[in-house]
Amino acid sequence: MKKVRFIYNPYSGENIILHELDNVFKLHQEKGYQIVPYRIQKDKDISEAFDIVDESYEYILVAGGDGTVDSVVNAMMDRELNIPIAILPVGTANDFGTFLNIPQDITEACEQILSTEPTPVDIGRINNKYFVNVASTGLFTDVSQKTDVNLKNTIGKLAYYLKGLEEIPNFRKLKVKLKSKELEYDGEMYLILVFNGQTAGSFKLATRADLTDGYLDVIMIKAVAIREILPLFIKILKGEHLDSDKVIYFKTDDILIESNEDILTDIDGEKGPDFPLHIQCIKGGIKVLGIK
């Protein structure tokens, strides 16, 4: 019987996966797969989930949000483990799973995963770490890190928005330098997002992103006057922001970001590395099941 390493985060979202475990086992057994589960624990390094993974395993099945998927991919890359992954998007933030068009219904997601072949997709590398959806820095980018897990599990994405409102008094211009072969910038900004996926906090921002083109989509919100922020936000809601003169947008496979500001970085909802940030696209870096 073919084996699948099933890594699930019991803390993700509203603990949905805990009510679906038997269903996941059943659907895989019906297709001739043996599920070998691993329950993520807060005090354990997720890398140990791969101690038993060898050539007898067909793929890695991950149940969680973007942060969980990010942790799994980083552990796999560190071990140079080149087998497909599949995602059950059950977290508070499932931006990467949404971009892959993976259903949030567990039965539908498993059926889609089990009926497809692996597809190579790009991932990002930021210094010595990897990300699947987005790396960011600037205002509001550490909201996910500051949001209480219990609050996220209780009210979902609304918890992020409430925490974001708390950050408004800290609104300020930030000095930054960008350098890539496509563009160089030395000036002020509010926010930089480097996308492999399309969405952040359910906002579809990188509308022209492509997971197989070998490029990352860079979006920088310039430090505009306060009165210009609301019109820009309306453009974002309409999907018209990439052509705005208040936004710098371009694609690249290699960029350096420098800043002396006291700001954090974020990768897929988790704390990112310190500046300077060397960000690259790894074309076809992972193979994913479930893409139609």
Rounded Cα–Cα distance for residues 91 and 93 (Å): 5
For residue 158, pLDDT over 90 is answered with no
Supply the mean pLDDT for the chain.
Answer: 88
Rounded Cα–Cα distance for residues 55 and 57 (Å): 5
Question: Based on C-alpha coordinates, what's the Rg of the chain?
Answer: 19
Q: Where are the domains of the chain?
A: 2-121, 129-283
Per CATH, domain 129-283 is 3.40.50.300 = no
Output the CA–CA distances (angstroms, integers) from residue 132 to 28, 95, 245, 252, in the order listed.
25, 10, 28, 16
pLDDT digits (tens, 9 = 90+) for 57-96: 999 999 999 999 999 999 999 999 999 999 999 987 799 9
Cβ-contact 78, 52 below 8 angstroms: no
Q: Which amino acid, one-letter code, is at 56?
A: S
What pLDDT score was predicted for residue 172? 78
To the nearest 10°, the Cα dihedral for 141, 193, 219, 206? -110
Rounded Cα–Cα distance for residues 148 and 258 (Å): 29
pLDDT digits (tens, 9 = 90+) for 241-271: 999 999 999 999 999 999 999 888 999 988 8
Question: For the domain 2-121, what is the CATH code?
Answer: 3.40.50.10330
pLDDT digits (tens, 9 = 90+) for 110-130: 999 999 999 999 999 999 999
Rounded Cα–Cα distance for residues 24 and 61 (Å): 10
For residue 157, pLDDT over 60 is answered with no
Which residue(s) pair with 121 in the sheet? 286
Catalytic residue annotation = 270
Cβ-contact 116, 291 below 8 angstroms: yes
